[in-house]
Chains A and B, each alone.
Chain A
Amino acid sequence: MHKVLIANRGEIALRIQRSCRELGIQTVAAYAAVDRDLLHLKFADEIVCISKNDYLCSENLVAAALTTGCDAVHPGYGFLSENAEFCRLVEDNGLTYIGPTSEQIAEMGNKILARRAFRALGISPVPGSEEEIDNLNDAINLVSQIGYPVVVKAAFGGGGRGIRIVDDEAMLAGAFSAAKAEAAAVFGDGAVYIEKFLDDARHIEVQIFGDGKGAAIHFGTRECSIQRRQQKVIEEAPAPNISQSILDALCEQAVAAVAAIEYRNAGTLEFLYQDGEFYFVEMNTRIQVEHPVTEAITGHDLLRLQIETADGNLLQTQNDIMFNGSAIECRINAEDDCYLPSPGVLSEVIFPGGAGVRVDSHLYAGYRVPHYFDSLVAKLIVWDRDRPGTLRKMQRALDEMMITGIETNKRKLQKIVSHEKFQEGDVNTRFLDQLTG
């Protein structure tokens, strides 16, 4: 592989580019016209404008890869990264797609099929419907079997969208149609399914890699329970306060399952952990936002591994993966106190540093944060030998961070990190919504 088209923007485009450059691979930055000032364009070997303000233009992205002589495309996360048609278009045009096969994207992209597939492989999904629920009567029947509270979810959903929690029968009809409408609007398909809502669960996920030929390894767990309205805010690795043997068993189960489906490249299995049981939620067939915390505790570059796997290199063995210490990531969003987007021109950008501190961001003084895209502008990741050390370091690092010109969630993050329950690791997925009201 000698030239990769980066089909994304912002911090992840820079992240992909960094690993490419370290491997001696040229990068082509595909950019929307409104993103002309993105940082990674300055380091790209070539840049190609592919649209006015969007990254969903599959044909233009593939055409840009072809006209610049790329041999591979990296989709990043979000946008087209879990779009099976895009993967197919890339591969049909003779390019390498840095990720799984289009069939795997399609299967896992349909959460109903994914639940079924993993149940067949011995991994229990969250109790709920085995099929799509397409009318209110079927919804009522199912709920009478599993009991309230339940959650209605988009079959083709992601990123926390198309989800409605239902506490009682009075809310069901409204939630059902609202979830279907949002699913149709955001994902182009109104199919929904219903799960039991686990009201005291922790979100725990397993990072895996497959070689596409039946071999797979894991890189341990992450905990992502700090979420606001289903969107992750703080993540950590490994999942704290669970015995190593239980986590190992979970990871081994995950590896066996993805090996059985001959999964290719990076993926994450997401679980809810309640009352001592792990329930499968969904599988994400791409690199995730929070991959740096796994890199911090294993010392491996997951983007580099994605590229090398796509280039046909052999996967490491499980014995090559060692775990050390604890890492936490805070997502820095361009948003005001009311969680509304806060675009603007940055006059000052001071990121923290020092031992065990990493910042993944495309921000620089003078950069204009646009309003067209989601509000994630930086990821602050810290590592230390144990969780108490990591917590202290995150507080210190957040304190040093100064971004002027936009509003950010810095103060909100500080409040969470210093909260007693977070410090004890005694949180569930409702913690943040309850804290903020």
Chain B
Amino acid sequence: MDIRKVKKLVELMEESDLYEIEIKEGEDSVRISRQLGVQTQVTPPTVVLPIEPEKAAVTPSRGQIVNAPMVGTFYRAPSPGSPSFFEVGDRIKVGDILCIIESMKMMNQVKSEYAGTLEAVLVSNEQAVEFDQPLFTIV
């Protein structure tokens, strides 16, 4: 089960009144539960990802997660109307600007600490993000 499916499940939860979804595919399973206090966005602790047996429950099956270093509004492109910094499948070098997080009218560039391929974008353009919120996975 890949992260895009998980993301779709989360979107399904948010659009519905469901309290909890669990899906099993063979030996993989994912369970997503709603918090009592409604959160404005996805939080990682509530998502159980399919894992290799040796690894911890809340790390991705492979690759690195880029987390938000601050609270603000997520933008995929340098300015409205211009193309996104990167698309899924693009090669990323260390130091590449992945996105902008706007905080109090200040545009902050989020630079990649990792090199690899952009596997997934975990948030939507103009979404409010919190500290440490997962933004991208790079494999």
A positions within 8 Å CB-CB of B: 29, 33, 36, 41-52, 57, 59-64, 66-68, 89, 93
Contacts and interface: CB of A to CB of B under 8 A. Distances in A.
Interface in B14-64: 35-40, 43, 45
Contacts of A62: 103-104
Contact of B38 (A46, A57, A63): A46
Contact of B131 (A43, A51, A93): A51
B38 A64 contact: no
A43 B71 contact: no
Interface centre among B39, B71, B130 (most CB of A within 10 A): B71
A66 B40 contact: no
Contact of B71 (A33, A52, A60, A89): A60
A52 B131 contact: yes
B36 A49 contact: no
Contacts, number: 65
Contact of B70 (A43, A44, A63, A66): A63
A42 B72 contact: no
Given A45-B38, A49-B71, A60-B103, 8 more contacts: A41-B37, A46-B39, A49-B130, A49-B133, A62-B104, A66-B104, A67-B40, A67-B72
B120 interface: no
Given A33-B132, A93-B104, A63 B71 contact: yes
Interface of B: 35-40, 43, 45, 70-73, 103-104, 128-133
Given A59-B103, A66-B104, A47 B72 contact: no
A278 B40 CA distance: 51
Interface centre among A49, A50, A60, A93 (most CB of B within 10 A): A49
A46 B131 contact: no
A48 B45 contact: no
B131 to A, nearest CB: 5
The 10 closest A-B pairs by CB, nearest first: A67-B128, A63-B71, A63-B103, A49-B130, A60-B71, A44-B37, A49-B131, A48-B130, A64-B71, A63-B72
Nearest to B45: A36
Contacts of A50: 71, 130-131
Given A59-B104, A63-B104, A68-B128, A48 B40 contact: yes
Given A41-B37, A63-B103, A48 B71 contact: yes
A156 to B, nearest CB: 25
Interface centre among B37, B40, B128 (most CB of A within 10 A): B37
Contacts of B130: 48-50, 64
Contacts of B133: 49
Given A36-B45, A59-B104, A63-B103, A46 B37 contact: yes
